[in-house]
Amino acid sequence: MNVQATTPGVAEFDVRPVNKKANRSFYAKRVKIHPKRAQGAFRRLKWIVMAVTLTIYYVTPWLRWSRGLGAPDQAVLIDFEHRRFYFFFIELWPQEVYYFTGLLVMAGIGLFFMTSLAGRVWCGYACPQTVWTDLFLVVERAVEGDRNARIRLDKAPFGIAKLRKRATKHALWLLIALATGGGWVFYFADAPTLARDLLQLQAPMAAYVTIGILTFTTYVFGGLMREQVCIYMCPWPRIQGAMLDEESLVVTYHEWRGEPRGKHQKSSTGARLGDCVDCNACVVVCPMGIDIRDGQQLECITCALCIDACNGVMKKLGRPANLIGYDTLANDRRRAVGQPTHYRLWRPRTILYATLWSVLGLFMVYALATRADLEISVLHDRSPMFVALMDGGLRNGYTVRALNKRHDERRLHLAIAGLPGAELTIVGQQGADIVVPPDDVRSIKAYVRLPTGAVRPPSTDFRFVLTDAVGRSSAQYDTVFRGPE
C-alpha cells in the first residue's frame, strides 16, 4: 500500500519551481512567481537591512554639512555644474576622479571578499534590485493578499474588484518608483531648493527626465521583471561563481539528512526516511522560483527565506533546525559522514582579497590625507613652439593653470627653476604673484625669455613652481623650453 497523505501539522504546498533549470524553456513565456510570506530570523534581518539601506538612500541628500560661505552645505553632493563632488569633509575636483576609480575597485574587491566568505550576501540582502523587489512585494501582499489570494486574483475574471486592487497596487508601485527617482536627483543639486523647484514645476528638465527614467526602471524592474533581472540581465551571478569555493558559506540543503524525502516516517518498504517531508515550504517562499534542494544554482540569490520556511516546519515536527541552512559545501560533506565541522575563513583567496582591499584603502586614505590644497598645471605653447626675438633671444609661451582648493582667496607666487638666465613675465600684469579666487582655477599666460648667448639646446627641462604667499605649501610642474633644432 502506498498511501499519500500530508504530514500531520504541516501544510503542504502545491508549487512548481518554475525557474528550475529543467523547467525553463526559451520558448515559454515567463511564469509568474507568487512568493509566500516567510517568517523567521532571516526575514527579520532582511527587514532591518531594508530599513537601513532605504533610510540611507532617502536621507543622505538631506544631511547638511557646513563648509563656509559660498560653498554648498549639502553633506553629499555631486555638483556637475561646478564640477565638484562633496562628501562630508572631502571635496573632490574632476581631475581627482581616480578617488572614485579607487572606491569602485575597492567596492569590487570588497564584493569578491564578501562572496568568497559568505556567498551572495550582496544579492540576498543589500542589492537594490532585491531591496526594491521586497518593497514591491510588501505592497503587493498588502493590497492583494498573500500567495493564494494573489493566485485567485490572477485567475479571477476581470471585474470591478480586480480592477480596483490592480489599480491600487500599480498606483502604489508607481509612487514608490517616483519616490526612488525623486530621491536620486537630490544627490545632484541642493536638496531643499530642488524639492521646492520640483513641486513648483520649475526644476531643470534634466531632473524631470532623470526622475522619469528611474521611475520607469524601478517600476519595471521591481514590479514586473523581478527575478528575471537577476537571472537574465545581471552579470554578477555569472561572475560570482569564480569567487565561491567549497569553504564559502552558502545556503545549502543537507541532502544527506533530508533524503530520501517523504511524507511519512517510513516508506512503504519500511526503510527510514529523511527529515525532508517534501512539504515544498522552501519552494513556496522562494522569490526566484527555484527549489534549493536541487543544490547550488545560478538563480539562487541566497536570500535565506527557504531557511526560515524550513526551520518553521522542522520546529513543528520537533526535528533539529537547519535542514536548509548556511553552511559550506565542505562542512556539508563532513557532516554527512559524521566528521567534525570546521570553518576556514582564511584561505589564500580571502587573504588576497583582504590584503588588496586594505592596501588600496590605506593608500587612498594616505593620498587623501596628504592631498595638496593647491595645484599647478602647465601647457607649453605648441604653435609656435618658440619665438626668435630681435636681439637673438628666445621666447616660449606657456598657459599656466593655478588651482586653489581652499575656500579663501590666495595670493600665489609663480617662479621658474632650472633655467639659468631666463626671465618670467606674466601677460597682463606686473610681477609674478597670481591672485586665485576661493575654490577656483586661474589660468594665465606666461612668457619665459632666454637671452641671447645663454646655452640653449633644442629642448631644456625646467619647472614652474607655485608657492603659497606664506610659504606653507607649494606645487610644481615639469615642462620644457624649446629652441631651434
Partner 1 sequence: MADQKHIDDFSGTSTTGHEWDGIRELDTPLPRWWLWTFYATIIFAVVYWVFMPSWPGVTGYARGFLGYSSRAAVDASMIQAKQAMAGMRDRLATTSLADIEKSPDLLEFAAAGGRSAFAVNCSQCHGADAGGRRGFPNLNDDDWLWGGKLDDVDFTITHGVRNGADPDARSSQMPRFLADGILTQAQIGDVADYALSLSGATHDAVAAARGQPLFAENCAACHGDKGEGNKDFGAPRLSDKIWLYGGDRNTIIQSISYARNGVMPNWGARFDAETIKELTIYVHSLGGGQ
Amino acid at position 215, single letter: T
Q: What is the DSSP string of 290-319?
A: --GGG-S-TT-----HHHHHHHHHHHHHT-
* Least CB distance to partner 1 at residue 17 (A): 18
Q: Which stretch binds partner 1 (CB under 8 A): 133-141, 268-276, 349-357, 390-398?
A: 390-398
Establish if 223 lies at the interface with partner 1 (CB under 8 A): no
Cα-Cα end-to-end distance for the chain: 104
Task: Tell me the number of residues near partner 1 by CB under 8 A.
Answer: 15
Backbone φ and ψ of 38, nearest 5°: -105, 155
* Least CB distance to partner 1 at residue 433 (A): 17
Establish if 384 lies at the interface with partner 1 (CB under 8 A): yes
Establish if 437 lies at the interface with partner 1 (CB under 8 A): no
- Residue 181 buriedness (CB in 10 A; 0-12 / 13-18 / 19+): buried
**Residue 434's beta-bridge partner residues?**
412
| Strand stretches in 279-409, DSSP E | 324-328, 374-380, 387-388, 394-404
Cα–Cα–Cα angle for 117, 259, 319, rounded to 5 degrees? 80
Binding mask 27-46 for partner 1 (x = CB under 8 A): x-------------------
Establish if 389 lies at the interface with partner 1 (CB under 8 A): yes
DSSP state of 270: -
Establish if 340 lies at the interface with partner 1 (CB under 8 A): no
Q: Do the Cβ atoms of 323 and 254 come closer than 8 Å? A: yes
* Least CB distance to partner 1 at residue 80 (A): 23
Query: d(Cα 35, Cα 146) in Å, to the nearest integer?
Result: 8
Q: Which stretch binds partner 1 (CB under 8 A): 271-279, 288-296, 312-320, 388-396?
A: 388-396
Establish if 383 lies at the interface with partner 1 (CB under 8 A): yes
Query: d(Cα 143, Cα 145) in Å, to the nearest integer?
Result: 6
DSSP state of 330: H
What is the Cα 135 distance to its own chain's centre?
Answer: 18
| Candidate residues 14, 81, 391, 485; the one interacting with partner 1 per rule CB under 8 A | 391
Q: Do the Cβ atoms of 285 and 36 come closer than 8 Å? A: yes
Core vs surface per residue 325-351: b (16+ CB within 10 A) or e: bbbbbbbbeebeeeeeeeeeeeeebbe
Closer CB to partner 1, 233 or 345, in the complex: 233
- Helix intervals (H) in 186-254: 191-199, 205-218, 227-228, 236-239
Cα–Cα–Cα angle for 320, 324, 330, rounded to 5 degrees? 100
Q: Which stretch binds partner 1 (CB under 8 A): 159-167, 184-192, 281-289, 379-387?
A: 379-387
Backbone φ and ψ of 117, nearest 5°: -85, -50
Establish if 26 lies at the interface with partner 1 (CB under 8 A): yes
* Least CB distance to partner 1 at residue 21 (A): 11
Establish if 387 lies at the interface with partner 1 (CB under 8 A): yes
Closer CB to partner 1, 192 or 453, in the complex: 453
Q: Which stretch binds partner 1 (CB under 8 A): 113-121, 303-311, 325-333, 387-395?
A: 387-395
Binding mask 394-433 for partner 1 (x = CB under 8 A): -x-x-----------------------------x------
Closer CB to partner 1, 81 or 391, in the complex: 391
* Least CB distance to partner 1 at residue 330 (A): 31
385's CB contacts (< 8 A; 6+ apart) are 396, 482
* Least CB distance to partner 1 at residue 393 (A): 8
Establish if 392 lies at the interface with partner 1 (CB under 8 A): yes
Query: d(Cα 329, Cα 223) in Å, to the nearest integer?
Result: 34
Closer CB to partner 1, 148 or 452, in the complex: 452
Establish if 447 lies at the interface with partner 1 (CB under 8 A): yes
Query: d(Cα 185, Cα 363) in Å, to the nearest integer?
Result: 31
* Least CB distance to partner 1 at residue 188 (A): 27
Establish if 455 lies at the interface with partner 1 (CB under 8 A): no
Q: Which stretch binds partner 1 (CB under 8 A): 83-91, 293-301, 361-369, 386-394?
A: 386-394
Establish if 235 lies at the interface with partner 1 (CB under 8 A): no
Closer CB to partner 1, 204 or 451, in the complex: 451
466's CB contacts (< 8 A; 6+ apart) are 374, 376, 402, 412, 413, 414, 415, 434, 474, 475, 476, 477
Closer CB to partner 1, 13 or 447, in the complex: 447
Q: Which stretch binds partner 1 (CB under 8 A): 195-203, 346-354, 367-375, 380-388?
A: 380-388
* Least CB distance to partner 1 at residue 390 (A): 4
Closer CB to partner 1, 3 or 427, in the complex: 427
* Least CB distance to partner 1 at residue 437 (A): 13
* Least CB distance to partner 1 at residue 421 (A): 17
Q: Do the Cβ atoms of 230 and 123 come closer than 8 Å? A: yes
| Candidate residues 4, 390, 430, 471; the one interacting with partner 1 per rule CB under 8 A | 390
Binding site for partner 1 (CB under 8 A): 26-27, 383-384, 387-392, 395, 397, 427, 447, 452
